[in-house]
Amino acid sequence: MNIFIDGAEGTTGLQLEQKLSALDGINLMKLGDDRRKDINARREYLNGSDAAFLCLPDAAAREAVSLVNNPKTVIIDASTAHRTAYGWAYGFPELSEEHYRAAAESNRISVPGCHASGFNALVYPLIKAGIVDRSERLTCTSLTGYSGGGKAMIADYENGDNPRRGARPYALGLTHKHLPEMRHVCGLEHPPIFQPIVTDVRQGMLVSVPLAKNAELIWETLNRHYGGNISVMPLNVCDALGMEEMNGNDGMEIFVFGGTNQTLLTARFDNLGKGAAGAAVQCLKIRRGIQ
Q: What is the pLDDT of residues 222-281, one digit of tens each?
A: 999 998 789 999 999 999 999 999 999 999 999 999 999 999 999 999 999 999 999 999
Integer Cα distance of 222 and 258 in angstroms: 14
Integer Cα distance of 218 and 214 in angstroms: 6
pLDDT of residue 106: 97
Whether residue 106 contacts residue 88, with contact meaning beta carbons closer than 8 Å, is answered with yes
DSSP for 229-282, written as a single string: TEEEPPTT--S---SSTTTT-S-EEEEEEE-SS-EEEEEEE-TTIIIIIHHHHH
Whether residue 125 contacts residue 96, with contact meaning beta carbons closer than 8 Å, is answered with no
Residues 119, 108 within the same domain? no
CA atoms within 13 A on the CB side of 136: 18
Q: Which domain holds residue 28?
A: 2-112+276-288
Residues 139, 235 within the same domain? yes
Residue 291 has pLDDT above 70, yes or no: no
How far from 166 is each of 145, 161, 199, 271, CA to CA, in Å? 11, 16, 6, 18
Residues 227, 133 within the same domain? yes
Query: CATH no. for residue 122?
Result: 3.30.360.10
Integer Cα distance of 176 and 207 in angstroms: 14
Residues 122, 238 within the same domain? yes
Residues 133, 190 within the same domain? yes
Q: What distance lies between CA 196 and its chain's CA centroid?
A: 14
Number of domains in the chain: 2
Residues 15, 107 within the same domain? yes
In the predicted model, what is the mean pLDDT of the chain?
94
Neighbours of 96 (CB within 10 A): 14
Which pLDDT band holds residue 88 (cuts at 50, 70, 90)? very high
Which pLDDT band holds residue 290 (cuts at 50, 70, 90)? confident
Residues 75, 201 within the same domain? no
Residue 187 has pLDDT above 90, yes or no: yes
Mean pLDDT of 68-87: 97
Residues 140, 25 within the same domain? no
Residues 138, 255 within the same domain? yes
Q: What distance lies between CA 283 and its chain's CA centroid?
A: 11
pLDDT of residue 157: 86
Query: CATH no. for residue 89?
Result: 3.40.50.720
Which residues are identified as catalytic?
114
Integer Cα distance of 127 and 287 in angstroms: 27
Residues 51, 144 within the same domain? no
Which pLDDT band holds residue 163 (cuts at 50, 70, 90)? confident
